[in-house]
Amino acid sequence: MRIMKNEKLNIVRFIAVMFIVVSTTFAQDAQFTAAVDKNSVSLDEQFTLELTFSSSGSGGAKNFKMPEMNKFLILSGPNQSTNMQIINGSVSSSQTFSFALQAREVGKLTIGSATIENGGKQYKSNPVEITVTKGSGKPKQQAQQAQVDNTVDVGDNLFLRAHVDRSRVYQGEQITVTYKIYTRLRIVNYGVNKMPTMTGFWGEDLQLPQQVSLSNEVVNGKQYQVGTLKKTALFPTQNGELEINPMEITCQVQAQPRRRSNDVFDQFFNDPFFGTSQTANVTLKSSPIKITVLPLPQHTIPESFHGAVGKFSLNASLNKRSAKTNEPISLKATISGTGNVKILEAPKLNLPNDFQQYDPKVSENISRDGAAINGAKSFEWLIVPRYPGAKKIPALEFSYFDINQKRYITLKTNEFNVLVEKGSAEAPQIAGGLTREDVKLLNQDIRFIKTDAGKFRRTEDELINTTAAAVLTLIPLSAFIGLLVYRQKALQEMSDVVGFRSRKAIKIASKKLQNAKVLLAGKNAETFYAEVSRALWQYVSDKLSIDRAELSIDNVMQALQEKKIPDELTLKIKACLESCEFARFAPSSSTHEEKKKMYETASSIIVAAERELTK
């Protein structure tokens, strides 16, 4: 009992001394130094950088700014620790910021200066030079990193959760899935390991602020800070039970290490002021979500229905109501509303034979910054009247399935009357079943009959010899047969959609990689990686005949295995696809060398895959 009282008395005395010391200010010199545990490392070797600010007195430094380290990979950090000593009444303290680093390239590299503020004065650390040699290709930091990560126990203070606004929908109806991170810890950074695959859905990412904003939310009686990482609008392309696969991220979390001691002083000093905090990598994974997709009603489906689901309106207009023959007229139809605007098809335009029509020019304006996808899609036809007179353009029809009313709605525009006048370059006019040329021919078939037959003479000379006649006859015949064979072969190739896509895959991928090469020198890394990613996905989709709706890494791997592609190449393709997706969505900058390496890797992989798949 007496021992317990003495312990309490010692604690009270210690706190009193600390309070007196902290309240006293010492205007003495401070220093900010940088040091590494080794100045010469290999490319695959980890080393430690420590930035230490030490001063006399207990005043804490603030506004720490990291040094420039673009040529180094930050494996962990900044891990912060604080040390304080009291010797003969004099107080000295130090703050240390440590990083676990790995070099990105070979040569003599320099770690720049860091800055920190104390007492209204800014301090700058010394730069550090590192000599990096070529490594053996086997990273040495993994075991140590795992050990560091295991010293932090986040418990239920950090998790990733996926939310959907509805789990039972019609085919084509929008589902909004939101990925949120819940934390009671300090998150330094995060990166996406694996984007969610959504087989059976058409996906459109909704716009979010570039900086993740946090709000407060209570879950199971605990208050968390919540940030939205990703928000996607999904449109089911098939009915049945579908699954939204998990999203996986890695967070760099600053937290207190576990203390295994039960000592009262350890518990007392388990405070950020006295203890140490460290940054550790924590992997988070959301749970898969089941979605029940109902088929659309199969009875009374309108002829003009082509899969549109939502709420839409239809408008059409002509740029003029009178024109001359062979003078173009513009007919524009716009479908606007809420739903999957991207897949809307042009209404069918049934023009009379008096008009010549061209394929419509398509434009779209889609908004992704709200809770639902909405916008408009326009179709503009160029039509040319060939014959004069009062003409009529029939009405356009468009049908969609209304979610609220649970029935099909058919929209219809008005007919357009057009007055066509005779132009300067008049086309043949139909009159009584005869064309104008036929009428002119009737005027020419009665001629004056000559009474004098004229004089005739006989000649023995041949107009052309037999050999030349045969050659001149066979040449056009052979050309016609060759053209017929070529045309038939071309039609067969075009009818073979799978084969046509496979043959064109390398050409299309090369074109997209050329676009990526142009973006290589730019500063927008996300655009560059997006173009490389599109080239890879387009190639595997065309070459392996995988529909866009079913395109995922798992399906690509399965198709490559069925084609008996070597495992080494299959793994390279998978790694490259995942690296592109990670580089697109991870909020970290990439150097020119990294982008160049990604471009060369993607190019070599496509060439190697083409060689294997065309054997």
For residue 387, what are the CA distances in angstroms to 98, 349, 356, 358?
83, 19, 10, 17
- 131 and 176 share a domain? no
- 232 and 199 share a domain? yes
What is the per-residue pLDDT for 331? 92
Answer yes or no: is pLDDT of 370 > 50: yes
- 78 and 134 share a domain? yes
Higher pLDDT, 313 or 579: 313
- 605 and 568 share a domain? yes
Please name which of 586, 600, 526 lies closest in space to residue 74, comparing C-alpha atoms: 586
Structure-derived torsion over alpha carbons of residues 562, 568, 569, 570, reported in degrees to the nearest 10 = 40
* Rounded Cα distance, 422 and 322, in Å: 11
Burial of 49 (0-12, 13-18, 19+ CB in 10 A): buried
- 77 and 184 share a domain? no
Answer yes or no: is pLDDT of 594 > 90: no
Please name which of 308, 318, 401, 307 lies closest in space to residue 355, comparing C-alpha atoms: 318
For residue 173, what are the CA distances in angstroms to 155, 166, 207, 343, 410?
38, 10, 19, 13, 18
Whether residue 251 lies inside any domain: the answer is yes
- Strands annotated E in 482-596: none
Average pLDDT in the chain: 77
Give the strands of the sheet with 322-324, arranged side by side.
Answer: 322-324, 416-421, 389-393
- 501 and 594 share a domain? yes
Give tens-digit pLDDT for 68-83: 887 887 776 667 666 6
How many domains is the chain partitioned into structurally?
4
The CATH number assigned to the domain holding 283 equals 2.60.40.10
pLDDT band of 427, cuts 50, 70, 90: very low
Whether residue 509 lies inside any domain: the answer is yes
Answer yes or no: is pLDDT of 48 > 60: yes
* Rounded Cα distance, 98 and 111, in Å: 13
- 288 and 309 share a domain? no
The CATH number assigned to the domain holding 102 equals 2.60.40.740
What is the per-residue pLDDT for 168? 93
Give tens-digit pLDDT for 88-101: 445 567 778 888 88
Please name which of 102, 100, 103, 124 lies closest in space to residue 112, comparing C-alpha atoms: 124
pLDDT band of 437, cuts 50, 70, 90: very low
Give the pLDDT mean for 474-480.
Answer: 86
Domain that holds residue 510: 497-613
Domain termination residue (choose one: 83, 110, 138) = 138
* Rounded Cα distance, 390 and 421, in Å: 9
Domain termination residue (choose one: 294, 313, 346) = 294
- 609 and 507 share a domain? yes
The answer, yes or no, to whether the previous bond of 78 is cis (omega within 30 of 0) is yes
Structure-derived torsion over alpha carbons of residues 39, 40, 41, 42, reported in degrees to the nearest 10 = 160
pLDDT band of 311, cuts 50, 70, 90: very high
- 133 and 64 share a domain? yes
Whether residue 489 lies inside any domain: the answer is no
Q: Residues 266-297, buried b or exposed e (16+ Cβ, 10 A)?
A: eeeeeeeeeeebbbbbbebebeebebebeebe
Q: What is the pTM of this model?
A: 0.45
Domain termination residue (choose one: 138, 172, 195) = 138
Give the pLDDT mean for 505-531.
Answer: 80
What is the per-residue pLDDT for 169? 92
Burial of 509 (0-12, 13-18, 19+ CB in 10 A): buried
Please name which of 127, 148, 119 lies closest in space to residue 56, comparing C-alpha atoms: 119
The CATH number assigned to the domain holding 530 equals 1.20.120.330
* Rounded Cα distance, 512 and 535, in Å: 5
Give the pLDDT mean for 18-45.
Answer: 67
- 99 and 73 share a domain? yes
Higher pLDDT, 528 or 430: 528
- 262 and 170 share a domain? yes
* Residue whose tokens read 């004089």: 455
- 163 and 190 share a domain? yes
Whether residue 271 lies inside any domain: the answer is yes
* Rounded Cα distance, 484 and 478, in Å: 10
Whether residue 217 lies inside any domain: the answer is yes
Q: Are 31 and 16 in contact (CB under 8 A)?
A: no
Q: Which helix (H) or strand (E) holds 150?
A: helix 142-150
Q: Which helix (H) or strand (E) holds 484?
A: helix 466-495
Give the pLDDT mean for 533-557.
Answer: 79
Whether residue 9 lies inside any domain: the answer is no
Answer yes or no: is pLDDT of 294 > 90: yes
Q: Which helix (H) or strand (E) holds 93?
A: strand 90-103
Highest mean pLDDT among 84-98, 120-134, 399-413, 597-611: 399-413
